Amino acid sequence: MKLPAKPVVSIVLPLTLALNVGVTLAGPLGYGICQAGCAAVVTACYGAAGFTWGATLGATAPATVLACNAAFGTCQAACAAVLLAPTP
């Protein structure tokens, strides 16, 4: 009586799993971390300029505050990319 050869399943299953490991999205966790980082940076930026983030200055905002706002907007755009970007 001949013994059967090594089962194909023992080779195919790990290979199939390895090839099917898909790309995932950073999702809400990465987005939340990014948002928290942006908020911390803009708060520090406002503090360095002598202002409090969240206080409305309207049309009288100095250039330093406008620069902080621009940096915050850039950071927020980067967070949107983190939310949608695939991560291995």
Query: How much helix, strand and coil, in percent to the nearest 5, is found in the chain?
Result: 65, 5, 30
Look up the domain containing 33 and give its range: 24-87
Flag whether 7 is in a domain: no
Per-residue pLDDT in tens (0 to 9) along the chain, 88 residues: 565 555 555 565 565 555 655 555 567 788 888 999 999 999 999 999 999 888 777 778 899 999 999 999 999 999 988 788 766 5
Structurally, the chain folds into a number of domains equal to 1
3-state DSSP call for residue 1?
A: coil
pTM for the model stands at 0.62
Flag whether 58 is in a domain: yes
